[in-house]
Amino acid sequence: MGHSEMLLAVAGLKQDEVAARVRRLAAGDWSGFPPAERAALELSYKLSRDPAGFTAADRAALTRVFGGHRAADLVWYVSWCNYMTRVADAFQLPLERDNVFTPAPKR
């Protein structure tokens, strides 16, 4: 299970809902997503595939949707996720078998 799927499960989606959402995301046609989600997906795709291609116009569009602080948070988080993926890939670290994001049971 990938981290995105783990986080979707922690957000409350059932296993079939996670699978359906992952299929929609992987298809690359995000037109059915709300505008803010679509903007975040497009940012994520661009920063993952062509970070040097992120322009002032891209930043301005993101800021219009999310405001300055949330746009900066998104750029930081997507960049951090890409960094962590590259480190894990370089060391050939396997994905966890269990959902490490599930809160521990209360005792």
Write out pLDDT tens, residues 5-55: 888 888 889 989 999 998 998 898 899 999 999 999 999 999 999 999 999
Q: What angle do CA 96, 102, 103 make, to 5 degrees?
A: 135
The predicted structure's pLDDT at residue 42 = 92
Query: Looking at the structure, do residues 75 and 86 belong to the same domain, yes or no?
Result: yes
Number of domains making up the chain = 2
Query: Measuring CA to CA, how many Å separate 41 from each of 19, 48, 94, 96, 105?
Result: 17, 10, 25, 24, 32
The stretches of 28-67 forming alpha helices (DSSP H) are 35-49, 56-66
User: Mean pLDDT for the chain?
Assistant: 89
**Residue 6 domain-assigned (yes or no):** yes
Global confidence as pTM: 0.76
Query: Looking at the structure, do residues 22 and 50 belong to the same domain, yes or no?
Result: no
Q: Going by C-beta distance under 8 Å and a sequence separation of 6 or more, which residues neighbour residue 18?
A: 5, 8, 9
Query: Looking at the structure, do residues 50 and 6 belong to the same domain, yes or no?
Result: no
**Residue 103 domain-assigned (yes or no):** no
